[in-house]
Amino acid sequence: MWDILGRTRQRPAGTVHEMWEEDYPLPRVPFGGGCEKRKLLVEEFRGDCLIEPEFGYLINGHTVPQRALPRSDLSRSGVTMPFFSGVPSLSGYARARFGRAPVRREKAVISLRGLFEFNYYHALLEILAKLPILDRHVSPSTPVVISPALAQQPFFQTLKALPNLRERNWIVQDDFYIAADQIWVCAIIRAARPTLQGLLGLLGDPPTASGNERRIFLTRDRSRGRCLLNFDTLQPILQAHGFEIVDTEQMPVLEQMKLFADSRVVAGIHGAGLTNLLFRAGHAANLLEIYPPHDADPSFYLLSKDLGFGWNHIIGQSPTSKQRHANFQLDPHGLSKQLDQLEATG
């Protein structure tokens, strides 16, 4: 139906201001070889533009330019469908156009809507990381549209009080559409080194490493899924190698930043907490990433390589199901061997 609507009128074209795309070669294990696609797109839309509230799609002249919403190509995936839909509500759009749904009007806005807005990794590396890029093209005083899912996160409430973010004009888009004469969007897929540098500048310099080069193991609570069922067996091995056991879930974000800035060696289950490796930037580090059997994602491999960190991995076994968040076990001998190798490499 959106395709039919889009053919009924001329769509004002978006203006691309900045774009790059590259392939990043991946190791054969555990990603199966090949390349990872990384992209950046800054685009400006003018004219008959709306941002719908449920997912953050931009509707421009009765059409939905999917490139305006990062990762919208995943919207029909069985994994992401519980969080995200492939199309905005047609009935809601009609109500907004005929004045039967609330619409907030602005001259110009920046849209920071995106997939998994509530997630720490995506919020930092694919949402907040847009602001330094957009600042090259549009005034920092321009209102910034975010979702309630992001605004309500304790980590975001802390970060937006930092000097470079506290003066921003935030619009939390709840149940209303936003109409604007000019809408700026930035799509980031897999942030690269210049993007990371801009994000660090936005958040302020990383906490200074204290010289106490800590060794931490990042665990997860069993109730959150993707945790180690035999952790009681693994814990003595970790402690024998000098690891502190930490869980960042309930840890204030500034405390997380300081912890990782001080950590020379990090081992942990694949998850958003590893995003904090960013705050070790400028110092040596090694990551041992523990993958569930069904979720070998390259995000933290790429982050480690961009930051110049050492990286290795180990894959779990005996999952409770084939879901990506299923709990699983880890071979104690395999873990001990990997930790010995970390000792050897420093």
Under DSSP, is residue 163 helix (H, G, I), strand (E, B) or coil?
coil
Q: Which two structure tokens, joined as six digits, stand for 326? A: 């299923």
Same domain? 133 vs 271:
no
Name the H helices within the chain: 2-6, 90-97, 120-122, 130-134, 148-151, 154-159, 193-203, 231-240, 253-261, 299-307, 332-345
Residue 232 reports pLDDT greater than 90: yes
Q: Which two structure tokens, joined as six digits, stand for 281? A: 């930037």
Among 203, 233, 257, residue at a domain's last position: 203
Same domain? 154 vs 121:
yes
Same domain? 114 vs 260:
no
Whether residue 108 contacts residue 44, with contact meaning beta carbons closer than 8 Å, is answered with no
The answer to whether residue 242 sits within a structural domain is: yes
The answer to whether residue 318 sits within a structural domain is: yes
Exposure on the CB side of residue 67, measured as CA atoms within 13 A: 12
Same domain? 180 vs 309:
no
The answer to whether residue 17 sits within a structural domain is: yes
Same domain? 81 vs 164:
yes
The pLDDT value given to residue 222: 78
The answer to whether residue 208 sits within a structural domain is: no
Same domain? 329 vs 227:
yes
Same domain? 230 vs 136:
no
Same domain? 237 vs 199:
no
The answer to whether residue 44 sits within a structural domain is: yes
30: preceding bond cis by omega (within 30 degrees): yes
Same domain? 17 vs 98:
yes
Residue 104 reports pLDDT greater than 90: yes
Same domain? 20 vs 151:
yes
What value does the mean pLDDT take over residues 18-47? 90
| 72 vs 257, residue with greater confidence | 257
Same domain? 247 vs 279:
yes
The number of folded domains in the chain is 2
Owner of token pair 């920071």: 112
What value does the mean pLDDT take over residues 134-154? 96
Q: How many CB atoms within 10 Å of residue 99?
A: 8
* Interaxial angle between packed helices 231-240 and 332-345, expressed in degrees from 0 to 180 and rounded to the nearest 10: 20
d(CA 228, CA 247): 13
Domain range for 292 is 214-345
The answer to whether residue 179 sits within a structural domain is: yes
* Mean of the per-residue pLDDT values of the chain: 88
Residue 10 reports pLDDT greater than 60: no
What value does the mean pLDDT take over residues 79-92? 68
Among 34-38, 63-67, 157-161, name the most confident range: 157-161
Q: How many CB atoms within 10 Å of residue 52?
A: 22
Residue 75 reports pLDDT greater than 70: no
Residue 156 reports pLDDT greater than 90: yes
d(CA 74, CA 162): 32
- Report the CATH number at residue 233: 3.40.50.360
The answer to whether residue 209 sits within a structural domain is: no
Residue 246 reports pLDDT greater than 70: yes
Same domain? 161 vs 63:
yes
Residue 30 reports pLDDT greater than 90: no
DSSP 124: I
Q: Which two structure tokens, joined as six digits, stand for 310? A: 């050492």
The pLDDT value given to residue 70: 64
End-to-end CA distance of the chain: 58
Residue 59 reports pLDDT greater than 60: yes
Among 143, 169, 203, residue at a domain's last position: 203
Among 155, 170, 203, residue at a domain's last position: 203
The answer to whether residue 24 sits within a structural domain is: yes
In sequence order, what E strands does 26-165 have? 35-51, 58-60, 103-111, 144-146
Residue 150 reports pLDDT greater than 70: yes
Closest CA to 264 of 214, 300, 338, 322: 214
d(CA 335, CA 234): 8
Name the H helices within 160-288: 193-203, 231-240, 253-261
The pLDDT value given to residue 12: 53
Q: How far is CA 39 from the centre of its chain?
A: 14
C-alpha triplet 196, 200, 204: angle, nearest 5°: 175
